Amino acid sequence: MELKKDSNAVSIDMLLIVHSEKRRVAQGAHSDRPADPGAPPQRRGGLQCVENGIRRWQKLEGNDLRGNLVEKQHAQQTQVITSYDSQGTQLTVEVHPRDAMPQLFKKFSLAKRLQVDKNGNTRPRQPGGKDTHAYPWDRSSLKSMPLDLQQFEKLDTYASQVTVKSGLEELVSDLLQEAHSDLEIVRAIWIWICHHIEYDIEAAQEKDRQAFKPTAILQTQKTNCDGYAGLFERMCRIAGVQCMTVPGYSKGFGYQPGQSFSGEFDHAWNAVFLEGRWHLVDSTWGSGLVDSSTSKFTFLYNEFYFLTHPALFIEDHFPDNKNWQLLKPPQSLRQFENNMYHKSEFYNKGMLSAQPQTSIIKTVNGKATVTIESCAPTLFMFMLNGKQEHGLLSLRKNGMKLDVYPPTAGTHKLQIFAKGNSEIYSSVLEYTLKCHCADMDVRLPAELHQPVGPSWFSEQMGITKPSHSEPVIYTSDGRCSVSFGVVEGISVLASLHGDDGPMTEETQRRYIFQLHREKRTELKVQLPHAGKFALKIFVKKRQEPGNYLFVFNYLICCTNTKVNWPVFPESFGNWGVDNELLEPLSGVLPANRNVPFKLKLHGVAKALVKGQDTWPLTLSPEGYWEGSCSTAGCREVYVMVLENANHSFYSYILKYQVNAQ
């Protein structure tokens, strides 16, 4: 009989199917104890002879890693015995119930999987020129081969739900039920390990070698990186896919930017042979992460480390043999140490590049600048020494720019986070800042939040066509006016924040007067004194309950020490969104003066000003309510309106303070 699967298929001279009544003969030649799936590989073996079933296996000399006996012995279930000869040929014999369909007929895999060296030993092919990828990364793909991850959805769901019944061989057999190619085989094994094996921190610290054995891993479902890599290799080899464990250095748990690597290797991962080339995977980092503060492991699947592009894999994996970098040209250890480390979430969230490309930045005149390019609009935030202070982060259509001003000389830790499509900000970059001399003239308000300046995000939130596109506004007289379009149905709220002591929420808003003209909102700002202030802008949908949401802020700077503007008048809820105040803009009026008033009010029947006495306002042909009021004998002045001529109840809309005499 001759069965062929592909160009590497070989002929089989005999297909032996032993029926169930022969099982006793087969079992008589073996111990009742099932084979240990975690035992070390045996020396190369071959089928010596077959007589009345399976008589026995004879060990032959050699050191074939795959020449071990693989046997399933479960009552009333098919038993499969597999062996390989010196040429890498796979021979499978089934023992199954009389009426059952032989598995060999369902799925027959017979191929020369491994190479043969000059001594006749089988071994995986070493990486060569056709396995390499160009360095640096060409931005073409995060993967080392074309993949459509959607094609794996059904397989991923199935593989993640497979449970361990007995040994490793049966587990692999179960996983292969839905895998129809080498790629799908590797994917199923990868998904199972990433969703079932937990990183064992204690075993890793104690270097417990027993915890690395497949049998122990299946029992505890815990191991360290050596165990992950060893288990992945073992399962791939059982499934007939070439796989190697690759030791080396890594920028993983506990890594500090700029650190050097020497001595014993601290990590292990895998290379797997698919479609004629070697590819890289790291199931340890694909399964989850360790919290640096609690040293606890959390399952958190990471697609990035499955068939990662080698030019990206080298950022945090340096193999003991440079050939396993799969790069042209390969990188040196010194380059690995000095190159910027982009965390996996950097690429998962669509980042493309960052400047500077070194993990240690020296400030220039007390300032450091970081820019990131992304393939889509992305939200960012940063922390300097654990606080969101001392920096200006502005969003760009495809990335961001961050200027950081360390408050003191010395070494500082800068972390950058990105949000992407999820609701969670993830750490994507980490720098070490070396500041020789801090710029003491740059003191940013503590309330200056991120981002600074309008962007695609503010437009998305309903604020369009701003009068000031840059994040910083300079004023010489302490006053400025900012305007922007507002999408219909959106309400805007603004507040001013400095570092001159606590201010009430009411006072923070009293230095801003908000006007509305033809679908545009204008914010008139008067600073209480010279300095730097954060003008924070919030929005809210009028018809929806809840609080206002922060969108962005401007940094307003004034160096004129003579500036001393008072607050604007206090406005009440009945101050209409389309009303306009022309005068008086100061919320504090002089005593014993006649003060002119001019306002544009919509939808009112009458308007008046009330102090010690009451002064009516008249409607001019231009549509303004005008008049004057004496501040003699009063401490407060109110503007009041009558919205319905048939009513007698007036509403307060503005309030002024009167200076003491």
- Which one of 182, 200, 282, 403 is the catalytic residue? 282
DSSP for 579-638? Answer: -EEEE---SEEPTT-EEEEEEE-SS-SEEEEESSSEEEEEE-TTS-EEEEEE-TT-SEEE
Q: What is the DSSP string of 200-251?
A: -HHHHHHT-GGGGSHHHHHHH-EE-HHHHHHHHHHHHHHTT--EEEEEEEE-
**Close Cβ partners of 8 (under 8 Å, ≥ 6 residues apart):** 111, 112
336 three-state secondary structure:
helix
**Contact in structure between 317 and 267 (CB atoms under 8 Å):** yes
Active site residue 449: no
CA distance 109 to 238: 12
Supply φ then ψ for residue 219, to 5 degrees.
Answer: -75, -45
Q: What DSSP element (H or E) covers 430? A: strand 426-435
The catalytic position among 225, 480, 558, 629 is 225
The rounded distance, in Å, linking the Cα atoms of 35 and 22 is 20
282 close to 253: Cβ distance less than 8 angstroms: no
The residues near 440 (Cβ < 8 Å, ≥ 6 apart) are none
Cα distance between residue 525 and residue 262, in whole Å: 59
DSSP codes joined into one string, 133-145 = EESS--SS-SBSS
According to DSSP, the β-strands at 267-274 and 243-250 are: antiparallel
Q: In 10 A of CB 170, how many CB atoms?
A: 16
Does the active-site annotation cover 267? yes
Paired tokens of 452: 């600074």
Catalytic residue among 267, 317, 390, 412: 267
Distances (CA, A) of 224 to 196, 211, 509: 13, 8, 56
- Residues 6 or more apart from 332 whose CB is under 8 A from it? none
Give the integer Cα–Cα distance in Å for 127 and 118.
18
Residue 616 near residue 605, CB atoms below 8 Å: no
Please say whether the dihedral angle defined by the alpha carbons of residues 36, 42, 46 and 49, taken in this order, is positive or negative.
negative
Return the HEC string of 489-536.
Answer: CEEEEEEEECCCCCCCHHHHHHCEEEEEECCEEEEEEECCCCEEEEEE
Is residue 261 helix, strand or coil? coil
Q: Check: CB of residue 409 under 8 Å from CB of residue 389.
A: no
Q: Is the separation of the CB atoms in 656 and 634 below 8 Å?
A: no
Q: Which residue has the tokens 């009458």?
A: 606
Query: In terms of Cα–Cα distance, which of 231, 165, 140 is closest to 194?
Result: 231
Number of neighbouring beta carbons within 10 Å of residue 501? 5
d(CA 194, CA 98): 38
Active site residues: 225, 267, 282
